[in-house]
């Protein structure tokens, strides 16, 4: 099978008009924070049990088309001995994996960050494919301050995303390109829109220079939101600002835009997605989700580390996935939360 066929088959399996992507790729320090919040020790066995619980949720494949796993999860099994990528694919949920290796300061650009992990990426991709992964994800992070992101920060982060995406496609693996503009700060929605536009413009310029096939990638951007220390914007304002930025920067060739939740609560993230799809008009892309905490938080609270709460946790996950599926078509209403 050619790499082009592999890429197109994965896009066909992941992109449709009603499903989204579950981000379950929290690093070990991040999942420990999530578990600390519910009083659960972050052991390898607890992480395995919890993530197997998510992937084995009955009917999850009706609403979720792909799952981003942490590297550890890719090699784990459920209670019956099935590899977790097989558990996901049994419901036609495409397995994927996070491949970046975390972030640190960008030299020469105070306040900006850069992500590590390009060294040896092609070799790791071969191993991940052998374990069942068909797509991967790489995240670059952009803080907003009066002086950030700098021009160097914009160019350096875009270059990393483009080099990563080009390497993935050469290996027949679909790249999720994630430029996350952080909510930290007191900036207003107009400042966020300005930065989002700069970020996406630089990213697609770099993708073009590296000959990345836009038809065979998925974009995972931030919504255009005010900083968390600023007033919360109503959903219709978020939707208008987000769509304006996307229409100015994202080529129509990109098949799907799967938003990250980026600190939004579960209901807020669903409400904003719903408003975006109600106002989408003739937007050329699918507008969907790649939520982590906004999908998982209710399930984690219901589970609380107790095996007997497995079914309740799965129902909580399924509910959020179903409500986000409705929001994909502008059919969600807050009354459905009851």
H-type alpha helices, 81-188: 84-89, 121-130, 151-170
Nearest residue to 14 via CA among 132, 131, 133, 135: 135
220 assigned to active site: yes
Q: Which two tokens stand for residue 139?
A: 């995240």
Instruction: Output the CA–CA distances (angstroms, integers) from residue 78 to 60, 161, 295, in the order listed.
Output: 16, 33, 21
178 assigned to active site: yes
Helix (H, G, I), strand (E, B) or coil at 131: coil
How many other C-beta atoms can be found within 10 angstroms of the C-beta atom of residue 72? 17
Active-site residue, selected from the candidate residues 220, 247, 267, 308: 220
Q: Give the dihedral sign, CA 115/34/181/204.
A: positive
Instruction: Output the CA–CA distances (angstroms, integers) from residue 130 to 51, 85, 123, 231, 268, in the order listed.
Output: 20, 11, 11, 47, 38
Contact of 226 with 192, CB cutoff 8 Å: yes
Bond prior to 146 in cis (omega within 30° of 0): no
Cα dihedral 334, 335, 337, 338, rounded to 10, equals 160
Active-site residue, selected from the candidate residues 62, 178, 267, 271: 178
Integer Cα distance of 48 and 2 in angstroms? 34
Give the residue numbers marked as catalytic.
Answer: 178, 220
């Amino acid at each position: 099978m050619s790499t082009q066929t592999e890429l197109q088959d994965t896009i066909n399996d992941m992109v449709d008009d009603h499903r989204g992507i579950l981000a379950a790729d929290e690093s070990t320090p991040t999942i420990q924070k999530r578990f600390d919040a519910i009083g659960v020790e972050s052991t390898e066995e607890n992480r395995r049990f919890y993530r197997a619980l998510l992937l084995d949720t009955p009917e999850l494949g009706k609403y979720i088309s792909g799952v981003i796993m942490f590297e550890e999860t890719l090699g784990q099994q459920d209670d019956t001995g099935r590899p977790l990528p097989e558990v996901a694919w049994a419901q036609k949920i495409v397995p994927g994996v996070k491949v970046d290796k975390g972030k640190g300061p960008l030299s020469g650009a105070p306040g900006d960050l850069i992500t590590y992990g390009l060294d040896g990426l092609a070799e790791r991709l071969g191993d991940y494919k052998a374990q069942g992964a068909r797509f991967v994800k790489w995240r670059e992070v952009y803080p907003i301050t009066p002086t950030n992101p700098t021009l160097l920060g914009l160019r350096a982060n875009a270059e990393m995303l483009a080099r990563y995406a080009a390497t993935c496609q050469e290996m027949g693996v679909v790249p999720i390109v994630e430029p996350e503009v952080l909510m930290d700060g007191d900036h207003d929605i107009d400042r966020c829109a300005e930065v989002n536009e700069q970020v996406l413009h630089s990213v697609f310029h770099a993708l073009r220079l590296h000959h990345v096939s836009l038809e065979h990638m998925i974009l995972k951007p931030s919504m255009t939101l005010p900083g968390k220390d600023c007033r919360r914007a109503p959903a219709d304002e978020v939707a208008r600002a987000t769509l304006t930025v996307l229409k100015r920067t994202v080529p129509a060739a990109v098949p799907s835009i799967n938003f990250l939740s980026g600190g939004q609560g579960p209901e807020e993230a669903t409400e904003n997605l719903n408003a975006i799809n109600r106002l989408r008009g003739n937007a050329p892309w699918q507008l969907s989700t790649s939520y982590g905490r906004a999908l998982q938080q209710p399930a984690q609270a219901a589970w609380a580390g107790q095996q007997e709460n497995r079914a309740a946790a799965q129902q909580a996950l399924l509910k959020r996935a179903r409500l986000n599926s409705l929001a994909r078509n502008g059919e969600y209403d807050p009354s459905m939360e009851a």
